[in-house]
Amino acid sequence: MSIPATLIRGDGIGPEIIEATLRVLEAVGALFDWDEQTAGLGALESEGTPLPDCTVESFRQTRLALKGPLTTPVGTGFRSVNVLLRREFELYANVRPVKSMIPHQRYDDIDLVLVRENTEGLYVGFETTISVGGDPRAVAQSTAIVTRQGCERAVRFAFEYALANGRKKVTICHKANILRAASGLFLDVGREVADDYKGKVEVDDVIIDACAMKLVLDPWQFDIIVTTNMFGDILSDLMAGLVGGLGMAPGANIGDDAALFEAVHGSAPDIAGKGIANPTALILAACMMLDHVDEEENADRIRRALEGTIREGTHTTRDIGGNASTLEFADAVNRRLG
């Protein structure tokens, strides 16, 4: 029986890595009934908006989506489609795992997960400018919104994820020493939630700047990191750097009744259409999507084939040391799938 899902090919390299990912999903017999929609710069050009109503309605019906990277138009007054979708459907937990696959890297045996609160903080976009002395932009002001509910559900998600996936520790990352109200609330609520998991999951907390340093010096001391929206956005890129870059970094945006899966990286317009983009991040995101719909066996099959292809190194894309095209890489993964 096929599972209804929304498919957004995206901008830039999006269509290329989506095609590679669909080939891999087809090779394991994953049965999704795709409703293909558009968003981003392509939608702005064809529909006059980067997020058409039909795309929103499709996701509202399927509650499940695989999305290629989107370009946010600059200087047009449009906000990020990613941010809009996360807020519209209350996709409050952004899950970004990183795992070592590329051999001979500076860091080996990395296996970390970042859980990022996905709907609040500075990214709510409450901003204004103040005119002083004739300068209309003499002062810029951004307001971070952090709620007890938002903190609680993100942190609880991290602990439940730990239990479901055999993880041992959750680290609460904050800046409560300076941002006593907003980040202080996140830390206080995080500690309250942690009390419910005593004896089941270890917990500690760390200030954001110290966390960044420790991730570089000794990333193996971490397991799951849970943090606020902007801190999570920054740290997840740092963590991707530990395993070879954003081309290796998948992401899931999960709410109570909807989930959207994507690569962490952007649309990379500089290499779009050249057939050289690395589809690994999106393939791994599709694996997370399979996990979400209880197709763990197929997800694990793809992960093993993907890692084997990367470690062998004869059919990888340029960014991870090879000369294969996007689709040649996908075909090499499929050969391992048998």
Lookup result for tokens 């409050």:
92
CB 159 within 8 A of CB 201: yes
175 given a catalytic annotation: yes
Token pair belonging to 325:
């095209």
Q: Name the helix (H) or strand (E) containing 337.
A: helix 326-337
Would you call 281 helix, strand, or coil by DSSP? Answer: helix
197 given a catalytic annotation: no
DSSP string spanning 158-216?
HHHHHHHTT--EEEEEE-TTT-TTHHHHHHHHHHHHHHTTTTTSEEEEEEHHHHHHHHH
Of 11, 35, 233, 291, which one is the catalytic site residue? 233
CB 63 within 8 A of CB 33: no
Task: State how far the Cα of 38 lies from the Cα of 56, in Å rounded to an integer.
Answer: 10
99 given a catalytic annotation: no
Please, how many CA atoms are within 13 Å of residue 150, restricted to the half-sphere of its CB?
Answer: 24
Of 108, 135, 209, 256, which one is the catalytic site residue? 209
Q: Name the helix (H) or strand (E) containing 8.
A: strand 3-8
Of 11, 35, 92, 175, which one is the catalytic site residue? 175
Partnered with residue 132 across adjacent β-strands are 135
274 given a catalytic annotation: no
CB 50 within 8 A of CB 72: yes
Of 123, 197, 205, 291, which one is the catalytic site residue? 123
Known catalytic residues?
Answer: 123, 175, 209, 233
